[in-house]
């Protein structure tokens, strides 16, 4: 699998003329930890990656997109580009006034009803909304649904498994923010 984050970190560290130990000291990690990140043996936490990316002049939105892309299975990585337009604009082609705000819905059944009635919803998300097993095991929140639709809605007709992975990534991202 492509080592997106490690490659960026190694390139930036080398441009700065720093050893792995020196680079790691900036972030409170050891030189061997930097080595493991650069080689792709481990991935940095979102918090650490955003600090490193800022020092490497990678805009925060692009850094976040790269972090998410690095966690996707290889076959899904091409779906996420890192162009400025893709980073700055929501992926779903809803009209602003027509876009429902799922983030404010806290009741699980109400959330599922709204998803079932949304004509613009990507097919894979609509299938997951009707999947009782997924709903019982995963219990997605309105905030997670909103982020999946905004950031991964361009997958459009993708299979349910793509959106399952998207939900997993969104949940991991939200948990890393706390």
Q: pLDDT, tens digit, for every residue of 3-47?
A: 888 888 898 889 889 999 999 999 999 999 999 999 989 989 888
Q: Which fold has domain 4-74?
A: 434 Repressor (Amino-terminal Domain) (1.10.260)
d(CA 18, CA 105): 48
Name the residue ranges covered by the structural domains of the chain: 4-74, 96-176
pLDDT digits 0-9 by tens, 65-114: 888 888 877 777 777 764 433 443 344 444 444 556 888 898 988 998 88
What's this model's pTM, rounded to 2 decimal places?
A: 0.49
Q: Which of 55, 117, 54, 121 is nearest to 93 (CA)?
A: 121
| Residue written as token pair 């404010």 | 104
């Amino acid at each position: 699998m492509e080592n997106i984050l490690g490659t960026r970190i190694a390139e930036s560290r080398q441009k700065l003329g720093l050893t792995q130990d020196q680079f790691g000291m900036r972030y409170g990690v050891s030189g061997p930890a930097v080595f493991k990140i650069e080689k792709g043996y481990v991935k940095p936490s979102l918090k650490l990656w955003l600090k490193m990316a800022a020092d490497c002049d990678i805009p925060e939105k692009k850094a976040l997109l790269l972090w998410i892309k690095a966690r996707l299975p290889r076959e899904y990585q091409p779906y996420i580009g890192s162009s400025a337009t893709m980073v700055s604009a929501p992926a779903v082609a809803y009209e602003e006034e027509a876009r429902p705000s799922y983030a404010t819905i806290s009741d699980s059944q109400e959330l599922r009803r709204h998803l079932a009635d949304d004509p613009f919803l990507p097919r894979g998300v609509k299938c997951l909304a009707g999947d009782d097993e997924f709903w019982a095991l995963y219990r997605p929140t309105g905030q997670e649904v909103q982020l999946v639709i905004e950031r991964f809605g361009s997958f459009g007709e993708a299979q349910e498994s793509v959106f399952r992975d998207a939900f997993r990534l969104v949940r991991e991202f939200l948990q890393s923010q706390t």
